[in-house]
Amino acid sequence: MMIDLIKLDTEKNNHRTIDIDAVSTEEILRKINNEDKTVASIVEESIGDISNLVEQIVTRMKVGGRLFYIGAGTSGRLGVLDAAECPPTYGVDKGLVVGVMAGGDNAMFTAQEGAEDSLELAAKDLAYYHLSEKDTVIGLAASGRTPYVLGGLRYARQVGALTGTISCVKNAEISEVADYPIEAVTGAEAIMGSTRMKAGTAQKLILNMISTSVMIKLGKVYQNYMVDVKPTNKKLVVRSKNMIRTLTGVDEERAEQLYEASGHNVKKALVMEIMNVDKETAEGALINGDGHIKRAIQYLGGDV
């Protein structure tokens, strides 16, 4: 049976860019930019839905759950990208946030378009990770109907995992199999059907919001600094020491001492200096504070 794509919001024709092939380069760019300007306000309308999903993810992560993104094409690549950024940014294990893409790793660089049409493939991909009821699976599909995503979400529900979705159409098919659906309806693209544009931007914004807010709730951020960063290269070592200096007011020499004494751990270094305690005491306070620096300080009798 032929798929009636024209009914999808993402497949409609955009009357504002009907002449985009006949205008100057600058005007092409202005037309694209004008379309892009609408995305953030559209995403804003979904903040309540995003918030509800984040709260559920955090609850599961605190008891050992993981977060999986599943998708195909641009949507899948965006999920892989967001997952890949979590370990270096927030110091989490690479298995905590996982991007699963139709067609496997090769699809990240070379389109494997046929893979998205399988209802069974995502179940096999998720089963590889021993998906459980503690986990969360977020299906990404701009069109809201990708078979690979539908199959993965159905499998996730079978094993009792929490399910969420991010689509860019009203009444998306994938929303029907999600506990927490998010629909950011970005409308007709500047180039008809090119959902790597506004729809992709909306998905990227929402993924940023989800992963960032989850990490904040897990204690990976102090004030607005990513204090659980892993100093795996020279730039991140310098950033770690600068955070210690900035957040405690110490000089460069003292920051270096704290960095070394803490075992290259910014969070421990901050608690050590702020509360004038040793590494072991700071470590214990952070455990009691569920990884949050402010809670650790309060645990040690300090003010925040």
Q: Which residues, in sequence order, are CB contacts of 60 under 8 Å at separation 6+? A: 134, 135, 136, 162
Burial tier of 206 (Cβ tally within 10 Å: 0-12, 13-18, 19+): buried
- 41 vs 18: CA distance, rounded Å: 23
**Does 138 map to a domain?**
yes
Q: Which amino acid is at 57?
A: I
Determine the pLDDT at residue 2.
40
Using an 8 Å Cβ cutoff, are 184 and 170 in contact? no
What are 52's two structure tokens? 């509800």
Q: Which residues, in sequence order, are CB contacts of 16 under 8 Å at separation 6+? A: 31, 34, 35, 190
Answer yes or no: 85 catalytic. Answer: yes
Determine the pLDDT at residue 114.
65
Determine the pLDDT at residue 222.
96
Q: Are residues 20 and 55 in the same domain?
A: yes
- 229 vs 248: CA distance, rounded Å: 17
Using an 8 Å Cβ cutoff, are 106 and 120 in contact? no
Query: Residue 48's CB: how many other CB atoms inside 10 A?
Result: 10
Catalytic residue chosen out of the listed positions 11, 35, 116, 183: 116
Determine the pLDDT at residue 273.
97
pTM across the whole model: 0.91
Determine the pLDDT at residue 264.
95
**Does 227 map to a domain?**
no
Determine the pLDDT at residue 3.
52
Residue 263 backbone zone (phi > 0: left; psi -120 to 50: alpha; other: beta): left
Helix (H) or strand (E) holding 115: none
Domain count, the chain: 2
Q: Are residues 25 and 149 in the same domain?
A: yes
**Does 1 map to a domain?**
no
For each of the chain's 304 residues, which pLDDT tens digit applies? 345 555 677 888 899 999 999 999 999 999 999 999 999 999 999 999 999 999 999 999 999 999 999 999 999 999 999 999 999 889 899 999 999 998 777 667 666 666 677 788 999 999 999 999 999 999 999 999 999 999 999 999 999 999 999 999 999 999 999 999 999 999 999 999 999 999 999 999 999 999 999 999 999 999 999 999 888 899 999 999 999 999 999 999 999 999 999 999 999 999 999 999 999 999 999 999 999 999 999 999 998 8
**Does 224 map to a domain?**
no
Three-class SS of residue 281? helix
Q: Which domain holds residue 52?
A: 6-217
Q: Are residues 200 and 238 in the same domain?
A: no
Q: Are residues 136 and 284 in the same domain?
A: no
Q: Are residues 157 and 204 in the same domain?
A: yes
Q: Are residues 290 and 156 in the same domain?
A: no
Q: Are residues 258 and 186 in the same domain?
A: no
Q: Are residues 165 and 75 in the same domain?
A: yes
Determine the pLDDT at residue 1.
38
The domain that holds 239 is classified in CATH as 1.10.8.1080
Answer yes or no: 252 catalytic. Answer: no
Q: Are residues 155 and 97 in the same domain?
A: yes
Catalytic residue chosen out of the listed positions 26, 27, 45, 85: 85
Q: Are residues 161 and 285 in the same domain?
A: no
